[in-house]
C-alpha cells in the first residue's frame, strides 16, 4: 500500500522504495514538459531538482515548438499526443538522457531511435488500470442503456410521455461478455462487471492467464468467441500486429444484437468497417473512448450515428490516477537522470 499525494495507490507498489538524493552538481538538469496542466505533484517534484520549461497551451505543441522546446534538454516529459521521432531526438541533441511519457501507451515514441542513442524511456503502467476499467464499464452502460441518445431526446422534443418500449436497451445481467486483450485493464474490467450478474466471461489472446480462473473467464479463439458474445470489449494494446484487428470479417462474426466497446486505441479498429456494421445493423451499437483521428472532427460520420457513443479519450481521467501518472512520470525522469532504477522503464 502506497500513499501518492495523500491518495492510496495500491497497484504501484514500486513507488515505495524510491528515495531521491540531491544532485551534487550546481548545474541542474533541464526538462521540457509538453503540457502546462500536468498535476502539481509531478511538476513540483521536478522543480526540486531540475530546471523545468512548460509548454503554455493545453494542446499539443506545434512541431516547430516541440523541436525548439526539447533543444538542449536533459529530459522530455510528454504524452501520447506528442510524436517523438528521429527529428525530435536530433533537435534535442546529446544532452537528452530520458523520455518519460505520461501514459501506458508508447507507440508515439520511436523506441529503436531511443535505443540507438542509449536514451531511457519511461511510461506509467498499473496506476491507470482501475480508472480505465471503471470508464470501460461506464461507457458499456451508457451504450447499452442508450443514455446519450435518451439525453438528446429531452432537448429535441422526443420525450413526450412514458412509453413501454421507448429507449429500451439490453441489460448486462445474464449476458456473455467477451474481452479481447486480457491484460491488466481487461482483467480489472471483468472484475468490476462481475457485480452486474454477467452469465459468462470469455477472452481471447495468445496465452492462458492464471487470473482468469479467479474471474471465471474462459479463453477461446476469436472466431469462436465473437458469435457467442452479447458485449465485446476491446482492451488490446496497439502494435503493428493489432492495427485494424477488428475488421469487417470480425464484425460480421458478431451477433446483430452485440454491443462493441473500445477503450484501448482507435487504430486497433478498422473504423470504416465499424461504421458499416453500425449503419447496416450488423451489430447493435458501439461505445468508443478512442477513435481515429483524435481529436475527431465534429462533422465526422461516426458522430452522426445514433447507435454510437463517442467520448474524447478520457479513460484514465480519474483525478487520483492522473496524479499518480504525473508522479510516476516525474520519478521516471529523476531516477534516470541519477542513473538509478526507474519506477517504470521500457526495456529497449
Average pLDDT over residues 198-210: 93
Neighbours of 103 (CB within 10 A): 21
Average pLDDT over residues 197-210: 94
Tell me, what DSSP letter sits at residue 293? S
DSSP class per residue in 145-174 = TTHHHHHHHHHHT---S--TTTT----STT
Q: What is the pLDDT of residue 27?
A: 86
Judge whether residue 313 has pLDDT over 70.
yes
Alpha carbon distance 193, 201 (integer Å) = 9
Contact 153, 159 (CB under 8 A): yes
DSSP class per residue in 206-224 = SS--THHHHHTEEE--HHH
Average pLDDT over residues 6-16: 41
Q: What is the pLDDT of residue 289?
A: 98
Judge whether residue 23 has pLDDT over 60.
no
Per-residue HEC secondary structure of 294-311 comes to CCCCCCCHHHHCCCEEEC
Catalytic residue among 17, 244, 300, 313: 313
- Using one digit for the tens of pLDDT, what is the confidence trace for 251-310? 999 999 999 999 999 999 999 999 999 999 999 999 999 999 999 999 999 999 999 999
Count Cα atoms within 13 angstroms, Cβ side, for 259: 25
Alpha carbon distance 94, 97 (integer Å) = 8
Edge-first strand listing for the sheet containing 98-101: 51-54, 30-33, 75-78, 98-101, 120-122
Judge whether residue 25 has pLDDT over 60.
no
Contact 54, 11 (CB under 8 A): no
Assess whether 313 carries a catalytic annotation.
yes
Judge whether residue 122 has pLDDT over 50.
yes
Alpha carbon distance 162, 14 (integer Å) = 53
Range with the poorest average pLDDT among 78-82, 191-195, 203-207:
203-207
Amino acid at each position: 500500500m502506497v500513499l501518492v499525494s495523500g491518495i492510496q495507490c495500491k497497484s504501484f507498489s514500486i513507488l515505495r522504495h524510491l528515495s531521491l538524493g540531491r544532485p551534487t552538481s550546481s548545474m541542474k538538469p533541464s526538462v521540457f514538459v509538453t503540457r502546462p496542466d500536468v498535476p502539481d505533484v509531478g511538476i513540483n517534484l521536478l522543480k526540486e531538482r531540475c530546471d523545468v520549461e512548460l509548454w503554455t497551451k493545453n494542446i499539443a505543441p506545434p512541431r516547430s515548438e516541440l523541436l525548439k522546446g526539447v533543444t538542449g534538454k536533459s529530459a522530455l516529459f510528454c504524452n501520447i499526443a506528442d510524436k517523438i521521432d528521429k527529428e525530435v531526438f536530433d533537435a534535442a541533441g546529446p544532452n537528452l538522457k530520458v523520455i518519460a511519457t505520461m501514459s501506458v501507451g508508447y507507440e508515439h515514441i520511436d523506441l529503436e531511435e531511443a535505443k540507438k542513442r542509449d536514451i531511457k524511456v519511461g511510461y506509467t503502467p498499473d496506476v491507470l488500470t482501475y480508472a480505465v476499467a471503471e470508464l470501460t464499464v461506464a461507457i458499456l452502460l451508457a451504450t447499452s442503456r442508450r443514455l446519450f441518445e435518451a439525453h438528446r431526446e429531452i432537448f429535441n422534443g422526443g420525450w413526450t410521455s412514458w412509453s413501454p418500449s421507448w429507449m429500451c436497451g439490453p441489460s448486462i445481467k445474464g449476458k456473455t461478455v467477451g474481452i479481447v486483450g486480457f491484460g491488466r485493464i481487461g482483467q480489472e474490467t471483468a472484475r468490476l462487471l462481475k457485480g452486474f450478474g454477467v452469465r459468462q466471461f470469455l477472452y481471447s489472446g495468445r496465452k492462458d492467464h492464471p487470473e482468469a480462473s479467479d474471474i471465471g473467464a474462459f479463453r477461446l479463439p476469436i472466431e469462436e468467441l465473437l458469435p457467442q458474445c452479447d458485449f465485446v470489449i476491446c482492451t488490446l494494446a496497439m502494435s503493428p500486429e493489432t492495427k485494424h484487428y477488428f475488421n469487417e470479417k470480425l464484425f460480421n462474426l458478431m451477433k446483430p444484437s452485440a454491443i462493441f466497446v473500445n477503450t484501448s486505441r482507435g487504430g486497433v479498429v478498422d473504423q470504416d468497417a465499424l461504421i458499416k456494421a453500425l449503419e447496416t445493423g450488423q451489430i447493435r451499437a458501439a461505445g468508443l473512448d478512442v477513435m481515429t483521428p483524435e481529436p475527431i472532427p465534429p462533422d465526422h460520420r461516426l458522430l452522426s450515428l445514433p447507435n454510437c457513443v463517442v467520448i474524447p479519450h478520457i479513460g484514465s481521467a480519474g483525478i487520483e490516477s492522473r496524479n499518480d501518472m504525473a508522479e510516476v512520470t516525474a520519478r521516471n525522469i529523476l531516477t534516470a537522470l541519477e542513473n538509478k532504477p526507474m519506477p517504470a522503464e521500457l526495456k529497449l
